[in-house]
Amino acid sequence: MQMKILIIHGPNINILGRRDKSVYGNFTYEELNNLIYEKSRELGFEVDIFHSNCEGQIIDKLHQVMDADIDGIIINPGAYTHYSIAIRDAIEVLKIPVIEVHLSNVFGREDFREKSVTAPVCTGQISGFGVNSYILALEYFKLMNL
């Protein structure tokens, strides 16, 4: 049976390639998604990618997962990482592993980026590896599925 992974991209991920390349890298949003699809196929996963710049839509998607046949979530909450108690609460009730990812090293940037209100209710956090943060999260799910 194929493992099903949901990818949730939060605010401003859709404008990759236009954002500060020294922080976010050279990949565009489309290239990031293509990389995720390619790696997912290689690992034998079914992947669904969702993006929203709106907090409520991300929360709604997380609520839908409670009744869906999903094995895990990879979420990049973007700036919501630092203050969205509502996204945190939506993650907390899930009974599946959730990996928080960030393209940049949030601990090497502004002080306010060092605090994640969502990470404590996630299985783990991967940051600082650019688009490979998503790949490392997918690899975690492969290891977990052994």
Catalytic positions, please? 24, 102
Q: Are strands 3-9 and 72-76 parallel, antiparallel or unpaired?
A: parallel
Q: Output the CA torsion sign for 64, 28, 23, 19.
A: negative
Alpha-carbon span 59 to 144, nearest angstrom: 25
Give, for 7, the enclosing helix (H) or strand (E): strand 3-9
E strands within 38-117?
Answer: 45-51, 72-76, 98-102
Q: Output the CA torsion sign for 74, 91, 145, 105.
A: positive
Supply 115's token pair: 């605090």
Alpha-carbon span 74 to 120, nearest angstrom: 14
